[in-house]
Amino acid sequence: MKMEATSPMAAAQARDAAENGPARPVLEIRHAMKRFATPEGQEVVALDDVSISVAPNEFLTLLGPSGCGKTTLLRVVSGFEDLDAGDIFIDRQDIAGRPAYRRPVNTVFQTYALFPHLSVARNVAYSLEIAKVEQAETRRRVSEMLELVGLAGFGERRINQLSGGQQQRVALARALVARPKILLLDEPLSALDKSLRGKMQQELKALQHELGISFVFVTHDQEEALTMSDRVAVLGQGKLQQIGPPHELYRTPSNVFVARFVGESNLFAATVSEVGPAHCHFRLADGQEVRLPRRDGQTFSAGDKVQLLARPEDARPSPPDNGTGLRFSGPVREVFFVGTHYKLVIGTSEADEPLKASLPAGEDLGAGPAPGQMIELWFPASRLHPLAGEVGS
Amino acid sequence: MKRYGGLSRLLSVYGFLFFAFIYAPIVLIVVFSFNANPVNMMIWDGFTLDWYRTIFGFPARLTESTLYVESTRQLYGAVRNSLLVALVASSVSTVFGTAIAIAVARFRFRLKSFYRAFMFMPMIMPDIVLGIALLIFFVSTGVKLSVYTIMIGHCTFLISYVFIVVSARIADMDEKLEEASADLGANSWQTFRRVTLPLILPGVIGGGLLAFIISMDDLVITYFIAGVDSTTLPVFIYGMLRRGIKPEINAIATIMLVFSIVVASAGLYLRARRK
Ligand SMILES: Nc1ncnc2c1ncn2[C@@H]1O[C@H](COP(=O)(O)OP(=O)(O)OP(=O)(O)O)[C@@H](O)[C@H]1O
Ligand SMILES: [Mg+2]
């Protein structure tokens, strides 16, 4: 389902970008630059040439470590910060210089920022009252909205009489009631406990689907990003590292930063030993060699230092006789049983870092590998993905 | 545990002495205001309301010679001046003090900490210096001393008090609330009316009441800049005192005390109710 929904969109966007024609997206950020001067007299580059566009009805997630510029990106869109350079278009209109209160975007703040002196209903009605919407109409839309977020009957409560999850819903209702073109959500779920969080993730997704509003969702939780989004934009040090559908980010990250940040990873240092017309050969430090098909846009030349990425779940316990891949063996250091899988940490002589493997907890594994036991693993070539650059970067 | 027994008793005694030290004189004034002895206040001579009668201008049962407040009309005039000055000066100071507090807390501008320090200056400046400075200012600019000069003079330092009280309240307020308001389509004025003001209102009211009481109470500065017909209550009382401490003063002091307590309680009540 999700794949079908996202791929035409991604294709359309690619076409847009190629034609460089009039922007179809509801939100388009072009070459955004933002620097801050710190009190210590230094300069922080919060946004470094970031270009992102958001399609109608898209759920886009901004993912990145703390301080990478996610909040800053939302704030330049909502109008609380000005860009040093670059442009922002909402519905094809350049909104430079337009004050925050005249932008058709609404925000769900990380701390909710609900008005403590107003009731739940008045909080939700706020934007309608400002827009001088008729009273009866306001009442109708507020109760409709409260019902939608599951808070029917809570209208007269005060904000401090609500739980964290309920406050979260009020913030959502308040931001959505005026039907913005784009909803910006800055880590809206980070204050909730894990189970409530999972529930809210599903509800948010359902709500977005129902309302047909584009969501730009900020999180530093990669699992949340992968499960909820149509596309994910990974930010690191103010730069856009990669943008694409979750599976693309996970399977074919464009650099080591993305590979490490999205999902768990094993990275093997390798050297390009041979470049053919359709394939590249990579040699590991321990002498193993593997041949991988060349992908679009990969420009390796012989002698380049690269990293080969293999996800823990790509590990196979018993290598078949035919088929290419990488073999490793070593003692099991730790075993975690997670129901469907055994997660193993394996020490190998070659890799600097211990290997991570995840094996299905089928019958053949029984009670699972024991710590200290020697184990042999195999990663099929089809699951390996070469990345340019050193691990440290 | 035992060892603390003695210490704890010592602390209770200390506490008692501390509060006695502060409140004993005030309690004495209240008690004396009902003492019938016209000559020596320290000797209790029975309960009377005569001193209250006297200051309110009702005929007292006492002889003319003890009637100290010669003119109740003068006293009323002083009270009226005081109330008028306090009302105008505290209202004006509340508006300006609040505006400055918001500006300093919310806007970015150059020399901000300099301006903030500047706002504290009138508070730490000795009253007598401020009084003389204002007097010289008014005289040299040719302004005739009147209740209006008192109002202007009071504003110069009351704004500081309001500024400080309101600033504390704004510091407690989440700046994000104003951003949320703007995000939902409210312009600066709408945000101020619907979010900022309601949330800082307890501070504004508190600052205003404080300014009112301080203005009612001010002697030193007012003494310099009051005109001939613009005596305020503290100046009037001071004038009375110079002719000797008489029982009527206790009655006036007690009434002022009650008045202050009522104003302060109203402030506290409003504050508690808004929370
Ligand atoms: N007003 C400001 N003044 C100075 N530096 C700022 C300001 N706002 C943000 N920064 C800096 O810009 C960088 C990006 O900040 P931003 O808040 O966008 O990070 P973030 O990705 O939202 O992080 P987090 O996940 O912790 O919320 C940080 O290094 C931060 O210190
Ligand atoms: Mg942030």
Instruction: For the domain made up of B77-245, give the CATH fold.
Output: MetI-like fold (1.10.3720)
Nearest CA in chain A to B198: A117
Pick from A114, A116, A178: CB nearest B185: A178
CA distances in angstroms from B268 to B94, B194, B262, listed in the order given: 17, 23, 10
- The domain segmentation of chain B, as residue ranges, is 2-55, 77-245
pLDDT at residue A182 tops 60: yes
> Best of B173, B176, B184 to disrupt the A interface by mutation (most A CBs within 10 Å)?
B184
Q: What amino acid occupies position B196?
A: T
Per 3-state DSSP, chain A is made up of helix, strand and coil in percentages (nearest 5) of 30, 35, 35
| Chain B residues within 8 A of A127 when measuring between CB atoms | 184-185
The CA R_g of chain B, rounded to the nearest whole Å, is 23
Using DSSP, state whether B203 is helix, strand or coil.
helix
Which ligand is in closest contact with the Cα of A69?
A: 1
Residue A196 has pLDDT above 70, yes or no: yes
Distance CA B63, CA A268 (A): 111
C-beta of residue A138 within 8 angstroms of C-beta of residue A129: yes
User: Is the pLDDT assigned to residue A8 strictly greater than 90?
Assistant: no
The Cα–Cα gap between A371 and A55 comes to 49
Q: What is the count of residue pairs from A and B with beta carbons less than 8 Å apart?
A: 58
Please report which confidence band the pLDDT of residue A393 belongs to, taking 50, 70 and 90 as the band edges.
very low
Is the alpha carbon torsion for B234, B236, B238, B244 positive or negative?
A: negative
Q: With CB atoms and an 8 Å threshold, state whether A101 touches B187.
A: yes
Residue A69 Cα to ligand 2 middle (Å) = 7
Confidence of residue B165 (pLDDT cuts 50, 70, 90): very high
Cβ pair A270, A388 in contact under 8 A: no
- Give the model's pLDDT for residue B18: 93
Range with lowest mean pLDDT among A37-46, A127-136, B41-50, B90-99? B41-50
Question: Which listed ligand is nearest to A62 at the C-alpha?
Answer: 1
Interchain proximity A107–B180, CB inside 8 Å: yes
Strands (E), chain A: 27-37, 43-54, 59-63, 85-90, 93-94, 105-108, 182-186, 214-219, 231-236, 239-244, 266-275, 279-284, 289-293, 305-310, 325-337, 341-346, 355-360, 374-380, 385-388
Closest CA to B51 of B239, B261, B237, B246: B246
Tell me what percent of the residues of chain A surpass a pLDDT of 70: 89
Give how far Cα B192 sits from Cα of A367, A370, B186, B197, Å.
66, 66, 9, 6
Instruction: Measure the N-to-C terminal CA separation of chain A; round to a whole number of Å.
Output: 36
Binned at pLDDT 50, 70 and 90, residue B158 comes out as very high
Best of A29, A36, A73 to mutate for ligand 1, by most ligand atoms within 8 A of CB?
A: A36
Query: CB–CB of B180 and A117 under 8 A?
Result: no
| A258-294 per-position pLDDT tens digit | 999 998 999 988 999 888 888 889 998 888 888 888 8
ipTM reported for the complex, 2 dp: 0.80
pLDDT at A349 over 80: no
Distance A55 CA to ligand 2 centre (A): 23
Residue A246 pLDDT exceeds 90: yes
Q: Does B15 touch chain A (CB under 8 A)?
A: no
Q: With the C-alpha atoms ordered B46, B49, B53, B59, is the resulting torsion angle positive or negative?
A: negative
Whether residue A255 contacts residue A386, with contact meaning beta carbons closer than 8 Å, is answered with: no
| Atom of ligand 1 minimally distant from the CA of A110 | 27
What's the pLDDT score for residue B14? 93
Cα separation of A389 and A304, whole Å?
A: 9
| CB nearest to A101's CB, from B176, B185, B198 | B185
Judging contacts by C-beta atoms under 8 Å, the chain A residues touching residue B184 are: 101, 106, 126-127, 130, 174-175, 178
Token look-up 């996610």 returns A70
Rounded Cα–Cα distance for residues A263 and A242 (Å): 14
User: Which position has the token pair 């470049």?
Assistant: A275
* Location of structure tokens 């959502």: A172
- Rounded CA-CA distance B172/B156 in Å is 26
Kindly report, residue by residue over B39-97, the tens digit of the pLDDT. 777 788 888 888 888 777 776 555 554 444 456 778 888 999 999 999 999 999 999 99
Q: What mean pLDDT is reported for chain A?
A: 86
Report pLDDT digits (tens) over B167-181. Answer: 999 998 999 999 999
Q: Residue A369, SS3?
A: coil
**What does the pLDDT read at residue A4?**
42
Q: What is the pLDDT of residues A201-220, one digit of tens each?
A: 988 898 898 888 999 999 98
Task: Look up residue A119 and give its DSSP letter.
Answer: B
* CA B90 – CA B217 distance, rounded (Å): 12
The DSSP code for A391 is S
What is the distance in angstroms between the Cα of A385 and the nearest Cα belonging to chain B? 43
**What's the confidence (pLDDT) of residue B229?**
81
Lowest mean pLDDT among A50-59, A137-146, B233-242: B233-242
- Contact of A23 with A30, CB cutoff 8 Å: no
pLDDT of residue A23 exceeding 80: no
More confident residue, A182 or A375: A182
DSSP letter string, A179-233: --SEEEEESTTTTS-HHHHHHHHHHHHHHHHHHT-EEEEEES-HHHHHHH-SEEE
* Segment B133-151 mean pLDDT: 93
**What average pLDDT does this structure show over B117-127?**
87
B13 in A contact zone (CB under 8 Å): no
Give the distance (Å) from ligand 2 centre to CA of residue A215.
16
Centroid of ligand 2 to alpha carbon of A187 (angstroms): 7
Contact residues on chain B for A175, CB-CB shorter than 8 A: 183-184
Residue type, B87: L
- Helix, coil or strand: residue A85: strand
Instruction: Give the residue whose CA is nearest to atom 3 of ligand 1.
Output: A36
- Where do we find the tokens 């464009």? A254
State pLDDT tens for residues A355-386.
899 988 876 666 677 888 888 888 998 889 99
> Which positions in chain A touch B198 (Cβ < 8 Å)?
117
Higher pLDDT, A8 or A36: A36
Q: Does A109 contact B187 at a Cβ distance shorter than 8 Å?
A: no
**How far is Cα A139 from Cα A128, in angstroms, rounded to an integer?**
10
Q: What is the pLDDT of residue A3?
A: 41
**Which amino acids bring their CB within 6 angstroms of ligand 1?**
A 36, 38, 44, 46, 64, 66-72, 220
The string over A288-302, giving b where at least 16 C-beta atoms fall within 10 Å of a residue's C-beta and e elsewhere, is bebebeeeeeeebee
A106 class by beta-carbon count within 10 Å (0-12 exposed, 13-18 middle, 19+ buried): buried
Question: Mean pLDDT score of chain B, rounded to an integer?
Answer: 87
The alpha carbon dihedral of B192, B197, B200, B205 has a sign of positive
Q: Which residue has 């389902």 as its token pair?
A: A1
| Model pLDDT for residues A322-343, shown as the tens digit of each residue | 678 888 888 888 888 888 888 8
